[in-house]
Amino acid sequence: MRIASWNVNSVGARLPKLVDWLGTAEPDVLCLQELKCAEDAFPYDEIGALGYEVAAHGTGRWNGVAVLSKVGIEDVRRGLLDEPGFLADGAMFEAVEPRAIGATCGGVRVWSVYVPNGRDITHAHYAYKLRWLDALRATAAEELAELPFAVLGDFNIAPTDADVWDIAEFAGCTHVTEEERKALTALGEIGLAEVLPRALKYDVPFTYWDYRALRFPNNQGMRIDLAYGNERFTAAVTDAYVDRNARKGKGTSDHAPVVVDLDLP
């Protein structure tokens, strides 16, 4: 079974690239992040024509996650256990955002997650990010005993200093702090381990390169799209890689897909 994850930065804008990629990579299950569309505006027909069922969780302009599957979708769960919301500038109330969706696909329990960015360590969005990660841990802890189980998505955290092109550039920034990395360690403490992908080129399998400043041609990237699985999941992994080819050229996402191959009993 092939399970992948991709932050597409708008499923509408990315539809031609997404259709192409599904045709060549042929994942059985694909976790999407940053749909940037409402649930009912998802391109179900185009994706369904390729043989995928879809479970989407989205409200419009920001965020949005989905699971696509050729091997069935059951027990869909939208949102985390006690998921915190965010009080946006000028908003009257805190809003829970569409950042997590879980589903059982072909006997594997899969979560597609889009962890809050954090913006700046002094910003309320950063505290929100840490609270959100705590809710993710609690939700995973509740579910991971059954079935092969995995959480895949855009974590907006580089697990080690080597996972950014130049750690000196990130002094005092989000994505590389001790607190954020502790949240990843906490996933380990409940029984999840990271599936480490191989790079198709260069040493580090970066998954994200800013559109600006020629970051991709200069390979100034970050490895922030991650996959964590329980023992039953990780023991079945036969290969994992980042498909940086999907980041090449015009009209691409700023993220590349992470692909995990499994040989499940």
Is 82 annotated as belonging to a binding site? no
Catalytic annotation present for 255: yes
Q: 40 an active-site residue? A: no
Q: Which of 6-14, 20-28, 144-152, 199-207 is the region at the interface with DNA (rule: CB under 7 A)? A: 6-14
CB 31 within 8 A of CB 55: no
Residue 198 or 250 with smaller CB distance to DNA: 250
Minimum CB separation from DNA for residue 216, in Å?
A: 9
239 is in an annotated binding site: no
Q: How many helices (H) and strands (E) does the chain have?
A: 5, 12
Contact criterion met (CB below 8 Å) for 140 and 113 = no
Q: List the x/- string, 103-122, binding to DNA by CB under 7 A.
A: -------------xx-x---
> Which of the residues 28, 154, 225, 243 is marked catalytic?
154
Min dist CB 73 to DNA, Å, is: 24
Establish whether 34 is an annotated binding residue: yes
Our answer to whether residue 57 is catalytic in this structure is: no
Q: How far is the CB of 122 from DNA (least distance, A)?
A: 14
Closer by beta carbon to DNA, 202 or else 211:
211
Q: What H or E segment, with its residue span, contains residue 128?
A: helix 124-143
Q: What's the CA gap between 216 and 256, in Å, rounded?
A: 11
How far is it, in rounded angstroms, from Cα 170 to Cα 44?
39
The site map against DNA for 15-44 (x = CB under 7 A) is ---------------------xx-------
Residue with tokens 């599957």: 69
Radius of gyration for the chain, computed over Cα atoms and rounded to the nearest angstrom: 17
Kindly identify the residues of this chain, within the stretch 160-219, that bind DNA according to CB under 7 A.
Answer: 211-214
Q: CA 184, CA 92: separation in Å to the nearest integer?
A: 32
Ligand-binding annotation for 125, yes or no, is no
Report 46-105 residues binding DNA (CB under 7 A): 60-62, 88-89
d(CA 79, CA 244): 29
Residue 125 sits in the site that holds DNA (CB under 7 A): yes
127 forms beta bridges with: none
Q: Which amino acid is at 74?
A: E
In order of 56, 228, 232, 250, 265, the CA distances from 235 in angstroms are 28, 12, 5, 37, 10
Catalytic residue among 52, 114, 128, 228: 114
Contact positions vs DNA (CB under 7 A): 9-10, 12-14, 36-37, 60-62, 88-89, 116-117, 119, 125, 211-214, 250-251
Q: Which are the catalytic amino acids? A: 114, 154, 255
